[in-house]
Amino acid sequence: MIRVRDLEVNFDFPVLKGVSLDIEDEEFLVILGKSGSGKTVFIKTVVGLIRPNRGEVSIDDISVTNGEPKELLKARKNIGFVFQGAALFDSLTVFENIALPLREHFSLTKKEIKDKVKKSLELVELEGVEKLYPAQLSGGMKKRVAIARAIAYEPKYIFFDEPTTGLDPETALKITKLLKDLWKKIKGTFIAVTHDFGFTEEVATRIAWLKGGRFEFVGKVNEFKKLDVKEIQAYFVKTF
């Protein structure tokens, strides 16, 4: 379980104003909010990439915000993260990208690594690309490889930063279905941030609506739809 308490992040202006949230195991939580609402800052703070000004984050009772580096490393072995732009390492092939965390943190044989990479690529329905470099892949393929890299070491929690942004409608739909199927198959805890309500409606078991640096709503999709707030209606205009 991920526990977030009174999280406050300021850059030159306040981004998160004391937010709290519990993320339950095996749920698919979607953090919804418009651009610049602090969604990405929130998940980056939860995984320890941004140091908060105040507040506490713990992952399975390991403190991310105040823990020792060794503890943080332990917590990170349970975290996968798919960045908005995929963030694949340009100088490494697809195989090496996916194998990197396996080589770094686990004592696996070459064959075991090869098998795990193959299995991850099968799960994201992308095979035969092991020898290609990221520059040779399309946007959708890069996202799939990034997802394969995130699931390869079977982390308990996987974060997705705007998984459908920047993709054409058809590819976005494929990624949406892929994540839904993947979540059912691997039974992990998925946390995605997006402003895409079509995606949210399709995959979320719970929504957290971030507005003005605070969670204005946390609950089920159908409850969110019933809210009588003008801004929410804007999300129902489907983009595809």
Partner 1 sequence: MRIFVSIFEEAGGFISSFWKTLIYLKEIGKTRKDIVFQINQIGVNSLPLVIFTSAFLGMVAAVQTAYQIRDYVPLIYLGAGVAKGVMIELGPVITGLVVAGRVGSGIAAEIGTMKVTEQIDALEVMGISPYRFLFIPRVVAAMIALPMLTIIADIVAIFCGMIISHFTGIANYILFTRGARLFFLPKDLFGGLIKASAFGIILSLSGCFYGMETKRGAQGVGLSTTKAVVTASLLILLFDYLLGVIIFG
Residues that bind partner 1 (CB under 8 A): 44, 47-49, 72-73, 76-77, 79, 81, 83-85, 87-90, 100-101, 104-105
Beta bridge partners of 30: 192, 207
Nearer to partner 1, 92 or 218 (CB): 92
State the nearest-atom distance from the C-beta of 1 to partner 1, in Å: 19
State the nearest-atom distance from the C-beta of 89 to partner 1, in Å: 6
Nearer to partner 1, 85 or 169 (CB): 85
Closest by CA position to 42, among listed 218, 232, 215: 215
CA angle 132, 133, 134 (to 5 degrees): 120
Residue with tokens 């000004």: 53
Nearer to partner 1, 81 or 209 (CB): 81
State the nearest-atom distance from the C-beta of 235 to partner 1, in Å: 26
Nearer to partner 1, 61 or 90 (CB): 90
State the nearest-atom distance from the C-beta of 236 to partner 1, in Å: 31
Pair 32, 209: CB distance under 8 Å: yes
In degrees rounded to 5, what are phi and psi of residue 229? -125, 130
CA angle 121, 116, 152 (to 5 degrees): 70
